[in-house]
Amino acid sequence: MYMSTHLPMYVFTSQIPTIIFSQAGIEPLTVRLMDGQKTLLETTLYPLAGQIKLYDIGRIYEEYLRSQNDEDYYPYIIMELEVGGTTWEDNMIIYCPHHCDIPAEEFITKHFLTTLSAKRVPLDATRDDELLAYLLTSEEGATPRTIEVAAAFRAPDGNIIGLNYSWTNSTRYQFDAEIGSPHEIQELFEHFCQDQSDYDLRDVVPLSYTIRMGQRSFTYYVDEDFKPSVRFRFLNAFNVPETIYLEAVTVTKTDTERSLATSHGKSLFYDQVDSQEYEVTTAPLSSEEANWATQLLLSHKVQRVEEDGSLTEVLITDMTAEVTDSDEEYRRLKFTYRLATQGASLMVPKATNSNSRFANQFTIQFA
Predicted pLDDT of residue 83: 94
Q: Which CATH class is domain 228-367?
A: mainly beta
* CB within 8 Å of 361: residues ≥ 6 apart: none
d(CA 258, CA 86): 60
Q: Nearest CA to 233 among 306, 153, 137?
A: 306
What are the domain boundaries of the chain? 2-100, 111-225, 228-367
d(CA 242, CA 67): 18
d(CA 179, CA 176): 10
Q: What is the DSSP letter of 264?
A: T
CATH number of 2-100: 2.60.40
Q: What is the DSSP letter of 359?
A: T
Predicted pLDDT of residue 353: 57
d(CA 206, CA 223): 9
Q: Chunk the chain into consecutive blocks of 10 residues (it has 367) and report each block's average pLDDT, rounded to whole numbers.
A: 92 96 93 92 93 95 86 87 91 95 95 96 93 92 92 94 91 86 93 89 94 96 94 96 95 86 86 86 91 94 92 92 77 91 70 54 51
Predicted pLDDT of residue 322: 80
* DSSP output for 40-80: EEEEEE--BTTBEEE--HHHHHHHHHHHGGGT---SEEEEE
Predicted pLDDT of residue 366: 47
Rounded to 5°, the CA angle 135-140-143 comes to 135
d(CA 323, CA 252): 25
Predicted pLDDT of residue 346: 65
d(CA 53, CA 58): 14
